[in-house]
Every structure is written in structure tokens, then in C-alpha cells.
Amino acid sequence: MNSIEQKIDAIFSRWQQGTCPGGQVMVRKAGRLLYQKNFGYANIEHAVPVKNETVFHVASVSKQVTVMCVLLLQEDGKLHIDDDVRAYIQDYIHFDEPVSIRQMMNNVSGIRDQWELLGLSGVRIDDTITQRDALSIIRKQRQLNFEPQSQFLYSNSNFTLLAEIVERLSGKTLNEFASERIFNPLGMERSFFKDHYWKLIPDKASSYYDNGTGQYVYNVLNYGTYGATSLHTTATDFLKWMDNFKNPTICTEETVKIMGESPALSDNTKSSYAGGLFAGDHKGHAYLEHGGADAAYRSAVVRFIDDDIDIVILSNTQIIPLKGAAFAVADIVLGHEERSTKVEQPKEYREEFNHEGVEGYYFCTSAIFLAFDIRIKDGLPHLKTSYGYEPLTHVSGNHFRIEYLNLDLYLGVNSVLKSADTFIPLKKVKPFAPAERSNYMGTYESSELDTCYDVIEKDGALYMSHSRHGEQVLYQIDDNKCVTNAPFTFVVEFIRQGDHITGFTFTGNRVRNVMLEKVMNK
């Protein structure tokens, strides 16, 4: 066994521990396969191991294929990517600002994200979500997150709309068009878009979530929506797709160039997102990459352009953060792994762990909306998830890890979150209990969400209540501003006119300022 193989094996050691889910890993340089291995089980219940033929749901890795479909239609003369989308899907666009197809491809359109919108509307992520569901919530939007081209903000809605354009102009389903123009010509025999949630898929890997104790639960995924997601493929097939970036056969070189071009924003800064791909530089090596995450499925694909290195990692569990794994593999192949440096915890955050006073709700004070509901069990912190309270991994002292999120928490007098190489203060917040609670209580409605929320009082504090999501505590972060899980982490800002609360807005990571008006007092 050579040293490269041993080092890459070590990155995926958690997939080699007993009966567990796992994945496929393939690494290629200059056309030569350096590494190919399958780990774990595609189906734990029936002890079916992951094989070369195992098919994975690759989530947002789908976006680059959808973009290629759009660009092939441009080659056919059926559209131009700088056209206003109203020329093709006017019935889904009800905001005032013009948005181009290119802006949607580049995630600079300002269109709100369908998953956060669907969540706010009452859809649960394990529901049977169809393409019509996604398009319906997009159609209801009357506002953008921001002026097009002014910012980059990831939005799945962009690619659902692109899929609709492909279908209208081609007269075929997205899967039919992609099969005819991409999968079949490239010999991707086990690749397709799953466009109905009830579709049977031979050799499919099931999705398993680790609850933090090494016990796995089945993580349901019933998607029938596509374009932003739902590509199913194998690592072997996907390397054939990546061949086309080096030697285009299904498209022109100009089309490949467009896919790799990240745009300048209106303030002349450069965005990091190109045509369904992130463009960046890793230790002096230019790359294109994308990851995916739906249910417990995870995927990461990276192409180092000048080095001619391709890395494909597909998995049916969340226990290994795959983007970090992909770049760790790259460091090994590039010979950089010995040069990597570990960022030390700042001295002011180092302390012995004392569980007293640690329990509570923490809000990340950066622009990223993250919240952590921590409870102490058996003297150690546990994080609340949809599966209950899961133990954090104890590293040392007051240092704990959330493995599947690749995040570090330092819990104590000065609690902080470490994400990548950045330390972000965590603010411990309390339930919102204003003196005039009755002024906030009532029913709030939104035509953009086609749903209503109740603000109610419970145990002296205010809660957000929804028929599908139940009751969630409102935690105060500022005057008339709270954070809650409904079902994702959202900031709720109440609107006051004179002495009265007349509404509130929801703002999340990918949705901003969704208005709900108060229609009834409690």
C-alpha cells in the first residue's frame, strides 16, 4: 500500500468503523486514477455494501448539470443568458426588478430561497415535496432579497426556475433533455434527475443520520423537485462529466468557460460563485467545486484546473464533512498536507469546563444565522436537533465539536464558535418576555407564504406557534428583535407603529424581510 493511499484512507476512517453507512471516493490526476474506494453500507438494514454501481443522491451538485442544460439551449439559439427571465417564465416572476438568466446561474439574482420559504410556509423537509410545490412558493414572492447583481447569496430557487426554462424551451423534461444531451453522450449510464418522489431507483444508497452516539437513524428524503437538486449518479459516472471540463465533447469550449466565470458585483468586487460552481484558489491552486447536502446525503466534487486533478466524494451519511475531506485529499495529492497549520484557540477563550451556567440558547452574532440550544445531561452539553438532544464531542477543557457541521464550540464565560479559521462570539439569549406581552400576541399572515403564525404567551414568555411546526420559543436578541427556529434559524423583527405591533418580518440565511401582517389580537 503506498503512502498516498494510506493517508487518504485515514481521512475516511469513520466510514470503516463497524456496520455504518459510507460512500465512494475517486481521485484522478492527468487522466490517471490515483485512488478509488468504496466504504460502508448503502443499506444498513439489509447489509448491502457500497459498490461502484451504488447510486447516490448528490443534492446541490446537481446545479452545474442544470446550468449546462441552459447553456446548451443557448448554443441551440433558443435563449441568451443575459435575457430577462420574464421572456421565458413570466408567470413565475412577480417582483419589479429585471433578473437575467446569467444572474440566476451566478446566484446574484436576489431571488429568495425556496427551502427557507417552504419551511416558513409549513412544509417539513421530510414531506413529499414536488416541483410544483417549489414553483408555487417562488411564484408568490413579491420582493427580492436585494437588487440583482449587488450581492452573492445562494438560492436554490434560481436553479428550479432554470429547470423550468429548459423544459419549456426544449419540450422535454429536464431529465429527458439531460439524458439526451449530457448523460448518454458521456456514457453516464447510471445518472439521471429524479423528478418524482415515488420513483424506484435500483442500487440506491439509503440516507442515514448519526445521532452523535454512533447509532444511525433513517433520514427520510421524499423530493420530487429538481434542477437545484435530485441528480442521482455514481462517482464513476461523475468523473465522466468532469472529463468534459478538460476536453469538451457535448458543448463548446466557450460554454465551459462561461460555467467557470464568476461575475463582478455592482460594487466591482468579485463573487465566488460561477455557473453552478464555486470558483476559488487553494494554496495557489485554482479550482472549481461544489458540495451537496440533503437529508443525510453529502457530496463534494472538486476540479483543480491547472493541476488537472479531479476529486469526487459521495456519501449517504453526514458524519464526515466532505468539503474539508476533499481539500484534505487535495493536499495529499498536491504534497501540501505537511504545511497545513492549525489555528490555536485564543487564550482568552481557554478555560476548564464547568457545566454550571452553560445550559441555554446561543445565537451566533455574525451575519450567519446559527443558533444552538444546549442542555446539560450527565454533566456534558447536548445539542438539540430534530432527533432530540445529541451529545457534543468533547475535545478538551471547554472545547467541544459538532462533527457533522465541522464546527467547534468553546462553552464558558466567553462562549465562541469556531468556523474554519474564524472565531465568532456566541450570545446567550433569554426568552422574550416584554412587559406589554399582550401587544405582541395575535395572528400574523403572509400572502407570500400563504400561511399564518400565532404569537402566544407561555410560562411568562412569548412563543411562535404554527400548525405544522408547533410552538417555538422567541429568544430576545435586541429591542423588538428575536431569534427562533421556525423551522430553520430565523430572526423575527416586530414592527411597531405608535403604541401597536402591526406585524413582523422573517430573515434567515437565504431569505430576507418576509413580511407578516397582524390580522387578529389575542
Residue 445: strand, helix, or coil: strand
Among 318, 300, 132, 129, smallest CA distance to 230 is for 129
Which is more confidently placed, 160 or 126? Answer: 160
CB 439 within 8 A of CB 501: yes
CATH class of 437-521: mainly beta
Confidence of residue 274 (pLDDT cuts 50, 70, 90): very high
CB 42 within 8 A of CB 48: yes
- Tell me which residue has cell 405591533: 501
Predicted local confidence at residue 22, as pLDDT: 97
What lies within 8 Å, CB to CB, of 255 at 6+ separation is 68, 71, 72, 74, 75, 248
Average pLDDT, the chain: 94
Question: How many Cα neighbours within 13 Å face the side chain of 78?
Answer: 14
Confidence of residue 288 (pLDDT cuts 50, 70, 90): very high
H-helix or E-strand containing 365? Answer: none
Residue 489: strand, helix, or coil: strand
> Which DSSP string do the residues of 66-115 spell out, in sequence order?
HHHHHHHHHHTTS--TTSBTHHHHGGG--SSS--BHHHHHTT-S-PPPHH
- Tell me which residue has cell 437513524: 217
Of the candidate ranges 92-106, 136-150, 280-294, 332-346, the one whose mean pLDDT is the lowest? 332-346
The pTM (predicted TM-score) of the whole model is 0.95
Confidence of residue 342 (pLDDT cuts 50, 70, 90): low
| Nearest-angstrom CA–CA distance, 141 and 134 | 12
pLDDT of 341 above 80: no
| Nearest-angstrom CA–CA distance, 321 and 184 | 31
pLDDT of 339 above 50: no
| Nearest-angstrom CA–CA distance, 230 and 194 | 5
Lookup: cell for 3: 503512502
Confidence of residue 4 (pLDDT cuts 50, 70, 90): very high
Of the candidate ranges 21-35, 55-69, 129-143, 201-215, the one whose mean pLDDT is the lowest? 201-215
CB 47 within 8 A of CB 19: yes
| Nearest-angstrom CA–CA distance, 107 and 20 | 36
pLDDT of 376 above 80: yes
pLDDT of 206 above 90: yes
Helix, strand, coil percent content, the chain, rounded in steps of 5: 25, 35, 40
Mean pLDDT of 499-515: 96
Percent of the chain exceeding pLDDT 90 equals 83
Dihedral in degrees, nearest 10, Cα atoms 268, 508, 277, 194: -150
Architecture of the structural domain at 34-339 = 3-Layer(aba) Sandwich (3.40)
Mean pLDDT of 95-120: 97
| Nearest-angstrom CA–CA distance, 368 and 510 | 10
pLDDT of 340 above 90: no
| Nearest-angstrom CA–CA distance, 74 and 53 | 33
Of the candidate ranges 286-295, 369-378, 396-405, the one whose mean pLDDT is the lowest? 396-405
pLDDT of 41 above 70: yes
Dump pLDDT digits (tens) for 383-410: 998 888 889 989 889 999 887 778 899 9
